[in-house]
Amino acid sequence: MVLVLVIIIISSVLIGRKRLLKSRYKRLRLLKESEAKYRNLVESMDDSVFVIDSNRKVLYANSKLSKLLHQTSENICGKSINDLFPGNGVKRLMRCIDVVFEVGEIDKIEFKTTINHEVYWLETTLIPRYRHNTSDYIILAISRNTTERRKMEDDLKSLIGTLKSQQETLKLLSSEVIRAQEAERKRISRELHDEVGQALTAISINLELIRQDSVAMKNLKQRIHDCKNLVEKTIEDLHRVTYELRPAMLDDLGLLPAFRSHAKNYEKRTGITIHIDGPEEIEQLDSEIKTVIYRVFQEGLNNVVKHAQANRVKIHIEMNRGKVIFSISDNGKGFNTRSLLRKKPEERGLGLQGISERVRIVGGHLHLKSKPRQGTILQVDIPVAKA
Ligand SMILES: Nc1ncnc2c1ncn2[C@@H]1O[C@H](COP(=O)(O)OP(=O)(O)OP(=O)(O)O)[C@@H](O)[C@H]1O
Ligand SMILES: [Mg+2]
């Protein structure tokens, strides 16, 4: 009886052990399978993967890293991180590794290294892990080669730098061109006025004298009369041209008198009523700003005659919070400003582009408000430097 009991106990112990062995064997097989699966995955990755122990030495390196470093995985394992990535950038990587070991949290760093005389940028994610069945930390590092991206970013930066400096040069040039154009206009206007104008006036006076002397010669008299008319018409045209180029009044009397004088001629020519309103303090403005405003005024009025079909125009100028604000409003047919902006620069007129550039050069802005059938407001504001 006792023997039977002993046999039963022994056989159940043996069966239990066999089962235990079987399940342990199964677990080991599964572990090996999963390890092989992960190894395959890591080996097929496009990134370099390596494991670092607490002595900053490599425990494992995938084939991508060995390709990058031109060394076999066996060679890499056991080497210190410091020796694997030559150059100063590795110092930053080492500091980051220290922090990850200390804090136990994932971190990321992009560092530079020179391998076989070639510069590489590696964006590296550092993931802390416990070493199997121990309380020691290891770090799983995944490095992505970002050299191309860095190169492109650097190229882009230098391209933007070049573009910016070219833009600055262009700005400078265009402001120089406008300044030179203004000086030239002033000179031509003065010359036409002083030289040609005075000469024509003298001719006109002489002709009048001849006419009075040659009472008997009828034909000659008629010709001289025609001639005189022609000269007078030329004087009138000359005044208009010199005025358009640059009214002497702008320099001699100021902006508001120049507005008024131009408006008077304009009203006579077009039948459009112009109302001007502005304070005398405007005349204290810098001559360059006054010239810009005068050019806006001229182009604004030209546009009203050309496009607006208006019968009233309001000119308003004021000083407000360190800015001079100037506007021209008409009661004409208006237009769609958006469709103007949608046009290519070469398809647009030059008038608004030209004055917008002039305004920009003195640090101001040009605003255009218009809608079909609701008139147009052209406004500029220009900051005024304190004296
Ligand atoms: N006061 C206005 N009323 C109606 N339309 C206007 C007015 N001002 C400008 N526009 C519209 O804006 C467009 C652009 O004006 P801009 O002065 O730039 O060119 P332009 O007068 O056509 O040609 P340019 O000034 O070179 O002789 C005009 O063609 C016109 O359609
Ligand atoms: Mg125009």
CA distance 59 to 139: 10
Average pLDDT of the segment spanning 147-167: 91
Looking up tokens 């640059």 gives 246
**Greatest extent of the chain over all pairs of C-alpha atoms, in Å:** 177
Instruction: Spell out where 131-252 has E strands.
Output: 137-145
Give the C-alpha distances (Å, rounded to integers) separating 167 from 175, 220, 250, 332: 12, 64, 32, 37
Residue 43: name the closest of 30, 58, 57, 61 by CA: 61
| pTM, full prediction | 0.56
Residue 150: name the closest of 176, 173, 127, 118 by CA: 118
- Which of 352, 356, 357 maximizes ligand 1 atoms within 8 Å of its Cβ, making it the mutation to test the pocket? 352
Looking up tokens 């600055």 gives 168
Distance 352 CA to ligand 2 centre (A): 6
The residue with greater pLDDT, 341 or 78, is: 78
Ramachandran class of 184: left when φ > 0, alpha when ψ lies in -120 to 50, beta otherwise: alpha
Paired sense of beta strands 58-61 and 365-370, if any: unpaired
Ordered DSSP codes for 366-384: EEEEE-TTS-EEEEEEEE-
> What pLDDT band is residue 6 in, cutting at 50, 70 and 90?
low
Q: Tell whether ligand 1 has an atom less than 6 A from the beta carbon of residue 332.
A: yes
pLDDT of amino acid 386: 57
Question: Do residues 122 and 145 make contact, with C-beta atoms less than 8 angstroms apart?
Answer: yes
pLDDT of amino acid 2: 56
Q: pLDDT of 237-285, one tens digit each?
A: 777 777 777 777 888 889 999 999 989 989 999 999 999 999 999 999 9
Average pLDDT of the segment spanning 314-326: 96
The residue with greater pLDDT, 30 or 333, is: 333
Looking up tokens 């030289």 gives 195
Q: Tell whether ligand 1 has an atom less than 6 A from the beta carbon of residue 84.
A: no
Q: Tell whether ligand 1 has an atom less than 6 A from the beta carbon of residue 351.
A: yes
Q: Which of 189-198, 264-273, 354-363 has the lowest average pLDDT?
A: 189-198
Ion ligand 2 neighbours, Cβ < 5 Å: 303, 349, 351
